[in-house]
Copies of this chain bind each other. A is one copy, B any other.
């Protein structure tokens, strides 16, 4: 993006690293560093506003996340209205990040995205690709509400991680949340009938570090080779 192809001298690099861990906007950040330093941050500077350009850049990257059949089933509800924030906080165990973070995103999905002009998702593809893929979409989802729902949760998970890592690069912390009353939030945001909420992400300037990782499983406990029973 705007940082691509930067050619900094080691001297400049050192100077930039001297600013760590207080990342400024436009500092390049490696994927590995973003992954390693991202933590769920609960406390935010309530006075900080995210510049509109930064928000747009964040979201322009979010929508590069993959979706099955390119159905782009995510819908990102950006909650700015302080009254809405308060109402959501009241049904989210009172968690401070809901009102204090610069941005609050409710990641939703349209369970019927696959059926809404699916040909438009492939409009720029070669005709033979369109002819093969577009009819396959309905075959995959039609009459399968659990498959529709799984797809939404997956798509929002994928996009959510892109958002949180991109936020790190842009100098922001984040907190993924599913500790709230889904039905109450749906009512507050007037969620349309075919939509579901996947989770929320608060994004802002963190004011307090996360506690140390509380109890990680070793890699060998979660990676299995070839099959589960040998």
List the interface of chain A (C-beta within 8 A of B).
1, 3-13, 15-17, 19-20, 23, 26, 28-36, 38, 40, 56-57, 59-61, 63-66, 68, 70, 72, 74-81, 84, 120-126, 129, 140, 149-151, 153-162, 164-166, 168-169, 176, 178-179, 188-192, 195, 198-199, 211-217, 219, 222-229
A120 & B224 in contact (Cβ 8 Å cutoff)? no
A169 to chain B, nearest CB (A): 4
Chain B residues contacting A125 (CB-CB under 8 Å) are 211, 214-215
Q: Tell me the complex Cα distance, A227–B191, Å.
A: 7
Shortest 5 CB-CB contacts between residues of A and residues of B? A157-B157, A153-B153, A161-B161, A10-B15, A31-B169
Of all chain B residues, the one with the shortest Cβ separation from A15 is: B10
Q: List 11 A-B contacts (CB under 8 A).
A: A1-B30, A20-B33, A35-B165, A36-B61, A66-B176, A78-B225, A121-B215, A126-B211, A156-B157, A160-B161, A189-B227
Chain B residue nearest to A157 in the complex (CB): B157
Q: A109 → chain B, closest Cβ, in Å?
A: 10
Give CA–CA (A150, B31) in the complex, Å: 26
A168 lies within 8 A of B31 (CB): yes
By beta carbon, the residue of chain B nearest A18 is B10
Is the beta-carbon distance between B77 and A226 smaller than 8 angstroms? yes
The residue of chain B having its C-beta at the shortest distance from the C-beta of A150 within the complex is B153
In the assembled complex, which residues on chain B have CB atoms less than 8 Å from the CB atom of A195? 228
Residues of the B chain whose Cβ atoms lie less than 8 Å from the Cβ of A79:
225-226
CA distance A95 to B225 in the complex (A): 21
CB distance from A213 to the nearest CB of B (A): 7
Contact between B176 and A124 (Cβ–Cβ < 8 Å)?
no
Q: With A12-B8, A214-B123 as given contacts, are A23 and B29 in contact (CB-CB < 8 Å)?
A: no
A79 to B195, CA, bound (A): 35
List the B side residues contacting A151 at CB < 8 Å: 178
Q: How far is the CB of A14 from chain B (nearest CB, A)?
A: 8
Shortest Cβ distance from residue A81 to the other chain B in the assembled complex, whole angstroms: 5
Task: List residues of chain B with CB within 8 A of the CB of A164.
Answer: 66
B19 touches A13 (CB 8 A): yes
Across the interface, name the chain B residue whose C-beta is closest to A28.
B30
Of listed A30, A120, A188, residue having the most chain B CB within 10 A: A30
